[in-house]
Chains A and B, each alone.
Chain A
């Protein structure tokens, strides 16, 4: 049972535009969620988190939205930059990871 799902394996966005990465989960008991970014040949690095009692958390160009009724969260990156090109993972508070979405930001 995949408790955290990322159904889009890849996303391509033009520089300056908004990138929206999606994540769905099945367990309502998760207390918070985290987003990690991974470059090739590097380990995942923490990006942003959101508590289950909030519906939005913002940090600079990165905003995470949580829709508890839909068991869905999304990461918005605006404006997108070429350096944002990486694989993005969402994860539960128990560090159950989704399968990742590869974001490519092109000039």
Chain B
């Protein structure tokens, strides 16, 4: 049973560019959450998608946007990249009915902005 798959694993972008990160949830899960983990910090919640809609959002600017597809996979888009956007981006899938339990995290995408 495949867990959460994220692509790409590593990415280098130039300041001002745009980036799209992808996430395939664990089989049977219907909710996808995205987190940013900066160096030396814990994961910080960006937003959560359920039924193809953004259900919750953390304290991140509008440059961060997302999408969920009918097959529950999701994308995270970041526009106008800043050096401070360099981080590990984690995707977690879950079942909406279980709340915060049963989250399965992917291995993340390491984004470096130069």
Contacts and interface: CB of A to CB of B under 8 A. Distances in A.
Interface string A66-107: 000000000000000000000001010111111110000000
B70 interface: no
Interface residues of A, number: 22
What is the predominant secondary structure among interface residues of chain B facing chain A? loop
A44 B100 contact: no
Nearest to B38: A99
Contact of A97 (B40, B42, B102, B106): B42
A98 B90 CA distance: 15
Interface residues of B, number: 21
Most chain A CB within 10 A, of B35, B40, B43, B92, is at B43
Given A43-B90, A43-B92, A49-B101, A95 B107 contact: no
A98 B42 contact: yes
Contacts, number: 48
Contacts of A98: 42
Interface string B63-85: 00000000000000000000000
A9 B104 CA distance: 24
Interface in A10-51: 32, 34, 41-46, 49
B40 A99 contact: yes
A62 to B, nearest CB: 16
Contact of B108 (A34, A43, A46, A99): A43
13 contacts: A6-B42, A41-B107, A43-B107, A43-B108, A44-B43, A46-B101, A46-B103, A89-B42, A93-B100, A95-B100, A97-B42, A98-B42, A100-B41
